[in-house]
Amino acid sequence: MPQSEDAFDFGEERAGTLAPKSDAGKHAGLGHRERLRERLLKGGAEALADYEVLEYLLFAAIKQGDTKPIAKALLAQFGSLAGVLNADPAALQRTKGVGKTSAAALKSVAIAARRMARSEIIQKPVLSSWQSLLDYLAIDMAHLTVERVRVLYLDSKNRLIDDHHVGDGSIDEAAIHPREVIRRAMDVGAAALILVHNHPSGSPEPSKADIQITRKIAEAGRLLGVTVHDHVIVGREGHVSLRAKGLI
């Protein structure tokens, strides 16, 4: 049976909680962890299955015991490795064996992934780093459970100068006002912008409201010399560019 961090506080057994493991059991567990570590270090990105990646991440919080059942339970609950890493910490802790320390360890990996992806687009022309931008948006937004609207404001060299969280909710004029979007562009000295939002349903296909609001913002931008490069919709099933679809 896996031992959670509720049974071990940073590897120290809480008195009276569990019977001590046998020496044979301890050695077997240590051997598995060592083999997993060697595969990770020597085998490259595809050396471990998704559940094994989670197993290894859980080692930091659960110092003894078998973390495989917990890892597989997390994947079953959240559907994928990305789903686990992007899950709310409170939701993670509803899985048996996952406490605050494990949830924090998994959350830290998600934060590190976002910051690594963001570093690939900072101070670089966004249009020539398009795949890096899409990777960043997918990591940051694809698994959100609410619809979120953002505007990426760019300078005259198409470098990101402001990543503005407009709000949460359906993308229509009640949530995002064309004049306010363009006014902020003027305030931050932006020459162009990219609209971004996610579809929690998973499918990134644009709705009629998505298309209508994009065209209104693009028209408002044209009047004041602010270019709307694109509107990117992100979902678990991928992304859609309204520019690529010829909708702008």
Can you give the residue ranges of every domain in the chain? 8-115, 125-241
CB crowding 71-90: b at 16 or more within 10 Å, else e: bebbbeebeebbebbbbeee
Alpha carbons 100 and 63: distance in angstroms, whole number = 14
pLDDT beyond 50 at 91 = yes
Looking at the predicted structure, is the pLDDT value of residue 11 above 60?
Answer: no
pLDDT at 45: 67
Q: Look at residue 201 in the predicted model and tell me its pLDDT.
A: 85
Q: Per DSSP, what are the bridge partners of residue 159?
A: 125
Residue 83 confidence (pLDDT)? 85
Structure tokens at 226: 């602010």
pLDDT at 126 over 70: yes
CA distance 193 to 231: 9
What average pLDDT does the segment 179-194 reach?
95
Which tops the pLDDT comparison, 75 or 123? 75
Helices 100-119 and 50-59, axial angle in degrees (round to 10): 120
DSSP character at residue 159: B
Is pLDDT at 81 greater than 80 in this prediction? yes
| Rounded Cα gap, residues 8 and 109, in angstroms | 22
Residue 24 has pLDDT above 60, yes or no: no
pLDDT of 194 reads 96
With bands split at pLDDT 50, 70 and 90, how would you rate the model's confidence at 29?
A: low
pLDDT class of 173 with cuts at 50, 70, 90: low
Burial class of residue 232 in the structure, from the number of CB atoms within 10 Å of its CB (0-12 exposed, 13-18 middle, 19+ buried)? buried
pLDDT band at 228 (very low <50, low <70, confident <90, very high): very high
Determine what percent of the chain is predicted with pLDDT higher than 70.
Answer: 84
Residue 77 pLDDT > 60: yes
pLDDT surpassing 80 at residue 30: no
Confidence of residue 177 (pLDDT cuts 50, 70, 90): confident
Task: Give Cβ neighbours of residue 35 (< 8 Å, ≥ 6 apart).
Answer: none
- Its CATH class, for the domain covering 125-241, is alpha beta
Q: What is the mean pLDDT of residues 140-150?
A: 86
pLDDT tens across 201-214, in order? 878 999 998 999 99
Give yes or no for residue 14 having a pLDDT over 50: no
Q: What is the pLDDT of residue 18?
A: 34
Check: CB of residue 226 under 8 Å from CB of residue 186. Answer: yes
| 192 closest CA partner among 235, 234, 159, 237 | 159
Q: Where do runs of H (alpha helix) occur along the chain?
A: 23-43, 50-59, 68-78, 81-85, 89-92, 100-119, 130-141, 178-188, 208-223
pLDDT band for position 220 (cuts 50, 70, 90): very high
